[in-house]
Amino acid sequence: MCLLQVKLSSWKGEKPGSWYSQFRKGKQFSYSGSDGSPVHVVQLVFLKLLSASSRQTFTYHCQNSAAWIHTATFSHQHALRFRGSSGEELTHQDTHYITALHDGCQVTHTDTTSQHYTTAAR
Question: Tens digit of pLDDT for each residue in 53-101?
Answer: 888 888 888 877 778 888 888 888 878 888 877 788 888 886 677 888 8
Looking at residue 59, what is its pLDDT?
Answer: 85
CATH architecture assigned to 20-121: Sandwich (2.60)
pLDDT tens-digit map of 12-63: 777 777 887 788 877 777 788 888 888 888 888 888 889 888 888 888 888 7
- Shortest CA distance to 25 belongs to which of 40, 36, 10, 37? 10
- Shortest CA distance to 80 belongs to which of 53, 62, 55, 54? 62
pTM of the model: 0.70
DSSP assignment of 50-86, as one string?
H-SEEEEEEEEEEES--SS-BTTTTB-TT---EE-TT
